[in-house]
Amino acid sequence: MKKPEHQDEIISLIDDYLSRLFFLCRSITGNQNRQTLKILQEVIPLTIVEVPTGTKSYDWTVPQEWNIQDAYISNKFGKKIVEFSKNNLHVVSYSTPVNSTLSWAELKPHLHYHPVLADAIPYRTSYYQKNWGFCLTQNQYALLQKDGGPFRVVIDSTLHDGSLTFGELLLPGRSKQEILLSCYICHPSMANDSLSGVLLCAFLARSLMKTKDRYYSYRIVFVPETIGAIVYCAKNEKAMKSIDTGLVITTVGGPGKFGYKKSYESNHCINRLIEEVFFEKKTNFITYPFDIHGSDERQYSSLGFRINTGTITRDKYYEYAQYHSSLDDLAFVNASHIYEALTIYKELINKLDSRKIYKSTNFNCEVMLSKHGLYPTTGGAQNPTFNGRSELDIILWILFLSDGRKSVDDISLEIGVDSCVITALSEKLSLKGALQIV
Ligand code: ZN
């Protein structure tokens, strides 16, 4: 494939993939998820992994695989009123097969319409409760109600012992320490949630592959939300438990304001770095506090893993009217919006990858400074030099805070001393053997 140099070429590529991937009927399992990952293999060399039905993953079990060919509701004259072939959101995801003639009273409990947006088809799922249903516009619901039935109801779907499919790409860096980038591939025809995130993640990975001399290693995963992230954690437990920082990438393609959801530790460096990028790019943004509702940060930040996982968004899930409906479409999302978000993510990765982190070589009590020639030979008053602090004072704080997780910039922020000063003193401490670079 030709390597585009220009932003216009990348936007046009993202646009092509948006229209190719939008119409696939993805779910938490199934052939259309495989197809999605195969198409993404044109962008990055994803490894596709299949996890069989019945596989236990902590408190969860991989469900049966779901596929669907067709579905419709027609009236007594054979006129189709609701058709899956026109929009895959018309069928509740994971609907069991149906082929029956039903009265209005029998059909009604299986119908869902959007409570606010009259023209929208809502997105509904029933993964773990065996059920079936149709989603329709308020107008279609009124038509069925007026018609009164009986109705021919067909859902040509299958549930069988198959597998759950996910994609992963591991990009090694100079350090074995990994950064997690994750997106979810389980949503059918909606563009902002989650296709925009899937494409951003793929193009971010593509750009990382071209970055020479990466410091961190990157673990990039494309999983169905919740069950996929849980299965992924279970299958890669050791690696996932050693990750400190991650990003869940979703809802980045709308026309609205940028925002970011904080990771579970509010003062973690990922949050500060995201804000720095917004400030430097003079981009207004909304800050959303960490919340247990949301996406796969819930799994990645759970007690056993505790990965600080942030999310930069543009029209964040829950926050836009078209959310989880057919109006989250290619009129709402476009490739230029995704590209703009991609530049923010790329800048964040640049910052993350280039920050310096030191770790004290003496975790048990303090370093004997005089032994290393770091203590002033004559005791007494220390003259304040940096922002009201003496060099000795700053050295003590650096040694106190260099836990192998806090970067030079974190320490600078925490004690209110310029990061150049912290960098210079950390290098000095490193030469004396009191710190080592992580
Ligand atoms: Zn969603």
Q: For the whole model, what pTM was predicted? A: 0.87
| Residue with the two structure tokens 């981009």 | 283
Taking 90 as the threshold, does the pLDDT of residue 47 lie above it? yes
61-106 pLDDT tens trace: 999 999 999 999 999 999 999 999 999 999 999 999 999 999 999 9
Nearest to 258 by CA among 324, 181, 200: 200
How much distance in Å is there from the Cα of 186 to the middle of ligand 1?
Answer: 8
Separation of alpha carbons 82 and 72, rounded Å: 5
Model confidence at 158, pLDDT cuts 50, 70, 90, reads very high
How much distance in Å is there from the Cα of 275 to the middle of ligand 1?
Answer: 25
Separation of alpha carbons 310 and 95, rounded Å: 33
Taking 60 as the threshold, does the pLDDT of residue 381 lie above it? no
Quote the pLDDT of residue 377. Answer: 67
How much distance in Å is there from the Cα of 98 to the middle of ligand 1?
Answer: 26
The residue-averaged pLDDT of 34-49 equals 98
298-316 pLDDT tens trace: 999 999 999 999 999 999 9
Model confidence at 1, pLDDT cuts 50, 70, 90, reads very low
Model confidence at 355, pLDDT cuts 50, 70, 90, reads confident
How much distance in Å is there from the Cα of 109 to the middle of ligand 1?
Answer: 23
DSSP at 91: B
The residue-averaged pLDDT of 32-38 equals 98
Quote the pLDDT of residue 437. Answer: 87
The residue-averaged pLDDT of 155-169 equals 98
How much distance in Å is there from the Cα of 317 to the middle of ligand 1?
Answer: 7
How much distance in Å is there from the Cα of 294 to the middle of ligand 1?
Answer: 9
How much distance in Å is there from the Cα of 222 to the middle of ligand 1?
Answer: 15
More confident residue, 295 or 365: 295
How much distance in Å is there from the Cα of 318 to the middle of ligand 1?
Answer: 9
Query: 103: buried, middle or exposed (CB in 10 Å: 19+, 13-18, 0-12)?
Result: exposed
Separation of alpha carbons 179 and 243, rounded Å: 6
How much distance in Å is there from the Cα of 336 to the middle of ligand 1?
Answer: 22
How much distance in Å is there from the Cα of 381 to the middle of ligand 1?
Answer: 60
10-26 as b/e: b if 16+ CB within 10 A: bbebbbebbeebeebbb
φ and ψ of 354, to 5 deg: -105, 0
Quote the pLDDT of residue 292. Answer: 93
Quote the pLDDT of residue 366. Answer: 86
Quote the pLDDT of residue 75. Answer: 96
Separation of alpha carbons 340 and 254, rounded Å: 11
How much distance in Å is there from the Cα of 45 to the middle of ligand 1?
Answer: 26
Quote the pLDDT of residue 104. Answer: 97
Taking 50 as the threshold, does the pLDDT of residue 153 lie above it? yes
With contact defined as beta carbons under 8 Å apart, do 181 and 218 qualify?
yes
The residue-averaged pLDDT of 228-250 equals 97
